[in-house]
A and B are shown apart, each in its own frame.
Chain A
């Protein structure tokens, strides 16, 4: 890896240095866990269930928007005054083999679900596999060990919950809650470490 690639990787690493992005992802996963929890407890044919089903269209983009606003707010308050701001170079597209692999895996799984209904039990495992791949992709890009650990934990949580056979709604709820909690705690630990290592700049003037 040459100096330019290292500088590029460093800027990607910097984006995850304070743990705020992980905390944001963790909050979003917990929100989704709560959504699936409501799906598990509400009666199947009630009006509330219908509202809940429709609200999924708002929960994901709305939650992602809220989380990104929150992360931006806290980065402006905590990170930029301490260690500065960097705007990343134009985002690279995910490698074709990776995008194809994930899509193929998901497609095959859903095809199998359609053919054999009992495979619904393995949806939490599929969720774990997808998050595992996402974390592996991030880890490969930023070269941070903790994302490999998060990838392994995601896989383990997904498989363990599927093997527990909690049922579709409960299993999905459990996998999102557990993953969200793990990612949130990982981010919080990293934030504490970051705050300890980087005191706020007392004089922010540059000249």
Chain B
């Protein structure tokens, strides 16, 4: 029984820590539910400050989980974010691991 509990605990250590961070998990969850969203929508939905959101998005972009397109709508800057294919796979993988863990707890 202890061995099983150990396995379960160890399985949690395998989750993607980049996604596991709460703010980034919020961003990934929102982006996985939509096709794309702009910076203002993400900021409003997550409740993060501009700087905080920007830094988390940069981390996700570096990992190639999120694609960020900077364009303009008229004269207004528009930052459009969407999940990449590897981001979708990583998030799916993360969800499966967490769900398996929760089922065994």
Q: Size band of the B side of the interface?
A: 20 to 34
Contact of B38 among A8, A11, A84, A88 (CB under 8 A): A84
List the B residue with the shortest CB-CB distance to A204: B76
Is A206 touching B54 in the complex (CB atoms < 8 A)?
Answer: yes
A90-B35 in contact given A83-B40, A83-B44, A84-B40 (Cβ < 8 Å): yes
A206-B41 in contact given A4-B29, A89-B33 (Cβ < 8 Å): no
List the B residue with the shortest CB-CB distance to A203: B50
Is B77 touching A204 in the complex (CB atoms < 8 A)?
Answer: yes
Contact of B40 among A3, A10, A80 (CB under 8 A): A80
Cβ of B78 to closest chain A Cβ, rounded Å = 7
Query: Could you tell me which A residues sit within 8 Å of B by CB distance?
Result: 3-5, 7-8, 10-11, 14, 76, 80-90, 201, 204-207
Is A7 touching B30 in the complex (CB atoms < 8 A)?
Answer: yes
Contact of B37 among A4, A86, A90, A205 (CB under 8 A): A86
In the assembled complex, the Cα of A205 lies from the Cα of B38 at a distance in Å of: 12
Query: Could you tell me which B residues sit within 8 Å of A by CB distance?
Result: 29-30, 32-45, 50, 54, 73-74, 76-80, 95
Is B44 touching A85 in the complex (CB atoms < 8 A)?
Answer: no
Is B33 touching A80 in the complex (CB atoms < 8 A)?
Answer: no
Cβ of A4 to closest chain B Cβ, rounded Å = 6
List the B residue with the shortest CB-CB distance to A90: B35
- Chain A residues lying within 8 Å of B78, measured Cβ to Cβ, are 85
- Chain A residues lying within 8 Å of B50, measured Cβ to Cβ, are 206
Is B34 touching A87 in the complex (CB atoms < 8 A)?
Answer: yes
Contact of B32 among A4, A76, A86, A88 (CB under 8 A): A4
Is B33 touching A85 in the complex (CB atoms < 8 A)?
Answer: no
- Chain B residues lying within 8 Å of A88, measured Cβ to Cβ, are 34-35
In the assembled complex, the Cα of A85 lies from the Cα of B32 at a distance in Å of: 15
In the assembled complex, the Cα of A84 lies from the Cα of B53 at a distance in Å of: 14
Is B38 touching A81 in the complex (CB atoms < 8 A)?
Answer: no
Cβ of A60 to closest chain B Cβ, rounded Å = 28
In the assembled complex, the Cα of A85 lies from the Cα of B71 at a distance in Å of: 13
List the A residue with the shortest CB-CB distance to B41: A84
Cβ of B5 to closest chain A Cβ, rounded Å = 25
Is A80 touching B34 in the complex (CB atoms < 8 A)?
Answer: no
List the A residue with the shortest CB-CB distance to B32: A4
Cβ of B56 to closest chain A Cβ, rounded Å = 13
Is B34 touching A76 in the complex (CB atoms < 8 A)?
Answer: no
In the assembled complex, the Cα of A87 lies from the Cα of B42 at a distance in Å of: 12
In the assembled complex, the Cα of A4 lies from the Cα of B36 at a distance in Å of: 15
Known: A84-B37, A89-B35. 6 other contacts (CB 8 A): A11-B33, A84-B40, A84-B41, A85-B37, A87-B34, A204-B77
In the assembled complex, the Cα of A93 lies from the Cα of B38 at a distance in Å of: 25
List the B residue with the shortest CB-CB distance to A85: B38
